[in-house]
Amino acid sequence: MHNTTLDSPQLSRRSLLKVGLLGSALLGTAGLTATLSGCSASTPKAGFAVLRESDLPFLEALIPVLLEGAVKPAQMPAAVGATIENLDYSLNHLSPEMLKLTVQLFDVLALPVTRGPLTGIWGSWQNASKVDVQQFLQRWQTSSFDLLKMGHASLLQLVMMAWYSRPESWAHCGYPGPPVV
């Protein structure tokens, strides 16, 4: 997850500046900034193996948008909590290199200095609307920058896999669960 070459022919000078300076440089330094500024704790939140306090606001904004339609509104808060729990379990089993990249991605999303320019969400995640989150996902998916397209794919896969591993998700997709052996 680190092909940072800027070889896309469509990449304009402006987007190159935008992505090149604010993107790859900030991706690399987000972790450092986080440590120095104390904005993003490097230790997991109590009860979690990997996820930090700073990861939760964007996950809590992102997950309801990804699961819309699959979960009834009244059950969404519980579903978000369950998804985060499973996500933490999966992250704790990734290889160190894949985990490092995922943590960098989360840092980029959590830190205001990178979040604004790269996601278009300038305020806090708590204040982001559904449309804001959809636009951010759209922007990353259609970005000319591989790193953002990769980030988009990773977020979707991590969250969908975490939720649909949970038995409480199965009624929606008509899956009766594994048979008894």
Residue of 146, 110, 140, 114 whose CA lies nearest to 125 = 110
| Shortest Å distance, C-beta 59 to another protein | 14
Q: What is the dihedral of CA 7, 9, 15, 18, to 10 degrees?
A: 0
Q: Which is nearer to another protein, 29 or 90 (CB)?
A: 90
Q: Which is nearer to another protein, 53 or 146 (CB)?
A: 146
Q: Within 10 A of 173 (CB to CB), how many other CB atoms are there?
A: 8
Report the interface residues with another protein, using CB under 8 A: 1-3, 65-70, 86, 89-90, 92-99, 134, 137, 141, 146, 149-150, 152-154, 156-157, 160-165, 169-170, 172-175, 178-179, 181
| Shortest Å distance, C-beta 38 to another protein | 26
| Shortest Å distance, C-beta 83 to another protein | 11
Q: Which is nearer to another protein, 34 or 155 (CB)?
A: 155
* Element holding 28 (H helix, E strand): helix 25-37
Q: Which residues, 6+ apart, have CB-to-CB distance to 157 below 8 Å?
A: none
| Shortest Å distance, C-beta 142 to another protein | 9
Side chain identity at 54, as an amino acid letter? S
Q: Which is nearer to another protein, 66 or 80 (CB)?
A: 66
Phi, psi of 71 (to 5 degrees): -135, 135
